[in-house]
Amino acid sequence: MYQRQAAARPGGLTAHFLGTSSLLLSDGATTLLCDGFVTRPGLMRVGLGRIAPDAGLVRAAIERLGVRSLDAVFCAHSHYDHALDAPVWCLQTGAVLVGSESTANIGRGLGLAETSLRVVGDGDTLDYGRFTLTFLDSVHSPGDRYPGVVTRPLVPPARTGAWKTGAAYSVLIEHPVGRILLHASANHRPGMLDGRRAEVVYLGIGGLGKQSREFVRRYWDEVVGAVGARRVVLVHWDDFFVGLDRPLRPLPYFADRFDVTMAMLLPLAQRDGVEVVLPVAWDATDPHGELD
């Protein structure tokens, strides 16, 4: 397993991982963002209080990453750890917010215009520059804490549970340079990736430490194996109650079991000859770098 990914290089895609399943992806002309969750409120506030996006943290992230333009922000699903900040990125950059009707209602609650919202369904594709995004209905990982849909514009601050799941997507990102599957939540729908290919999977592993070996094997085979990936970048493993100004660390033991997850995943990766990467936040990396 690798701690660091290949560095970004001219002509390749550039990816910046921002914890959870937040990922900034660019080919130099077009820039896309998944989730963009940077507020990361603390455990007490999430558990007992009300939460709201921190526009200052979004602004700081935009500056630190050197984002000059942003075409689209898409949400893997509508829980707060995916969709809390997404509309703020759109407000600050003019990007379109893409996702379920629940995600659109989160955008409306923060004042995004209808023209800046794009609701997608299973199998829908959207083109941004040389990128093609395909949204595939998936299933949230077991033990969804906030199931349901957001039926009205969500105006923060609000209780954490107001950010209900909506639809959970696996997003196939195709570009002439290479293909990426961004699969944020550790579950799947059998057959959902039939006929899809991607060299790199950003694989959500949140909660896997509490699942059976059989569940993990099927998840690996039917997501990583199905698309024929050669590299897996692990996402949604970090403790998102801690700010992004500190190094990422795994979720505490009461919430998940990172070591147990690794003990189940790594033998599968070794069996299939798939490289596994534990990404570092903020680094400029090339998802497909040094693959061949």
Where along the sequence are the contacts to Zn ion (CB under 5 A)? Answer: 79
The CB-of-204 to Zn ion minimum distance in angstroms stands at 9
82 contact partners, CB below 8 Å, separation of at least 6: 20, 21, 35, 37, 75, 76, 184
CB of 188 within 8 A of CB of 139? Answer: yes
When the beta carbons of 62 and 184 are compared against Zn ion, the nearer one is 184
The CB-of-140 to Zn ion minimum distance in angstroms stands at 6
The CB-of-197 to Zn ion minimum distance in angstroms stands at 26
The CB-of-195 to Zn ion minimum distance in angstroms stands at 27
When the beta carbons of 79 and 175 are compared against Zn ion, the nearer one is 79
State the residue number with the nearest CB to Zn ion: 79
CA distance 152 to 78: 13
Q: Give Cα 272 to chain centroid, integer Å.
A: 24
The CB-of-77 to Zn ion minimum distance in angstroms stands at 5
When the beta carbons of 168 and 274 are compared against Zn ion, the nearer one is 168
Q: φ, ψ for residue 290 (rounded to 5)?
A: 60, 25
CB of 241 within 8 A of CB of 43? Answer: yes
When the beta carbons of 79 and 188 are compared against Zn ion, the nearer one is 79
Nearest CA to 115 among 134, 133, 95, 99?
95
When the beta carbons of 21 and 26 are compared against Zn ion, the nearer one is 21
CA distance 195 to 197: 7
